[in-house]
Amino acid sequence: MNVVWSSEALGKLDEIERFIAQDNPERAFAFTELLLEKGDSIAQFPEMGRVVPELSRPDIREILVGNYRIVYRANPTQVVILTVFEGHRVLRSEALDL
């Protein structure tokens, strides 16, 4: 099973890295790499994440990495990372390309 990062998710990773880099460029790079690694690891166990509470759809799940949420959709052949965002924010379904 492979992992595909949506353009939305990649854009959010860039935003996260730029924000953290304002204070600590090395930490920004390391944290972005951690998010990428955790997202890619979903392929091994696609049901490891919890169902996203705001959506209540069993096919849309998330894992938590620090204060961030990685939201994804899994099917039998691939995992699509839909978005990444700060955990205190509410996920709006219209922000996802479903």
Q: How does pLDDT run across 63-77, given as a tens digit for each residue? A: 999 999 999 999 999
- The answer to whether the beta carbons of residues 88 and 57 sit under 8 Å apart is no
Rounded CA-CA distance 74/47 in Å is: 8
pLDDT band with cut points at 50, 70 and 90 for residue 98: low
Query: Which pTM does this prediction carry?
Result: 0.92
Residues facing residue 50 across a β-bridge? 62
| Domains contained in the chain, CATH given | 2-91 (3.30.2310.20)
Percentage of residues of the chain with pLDDT beyond 70: 96
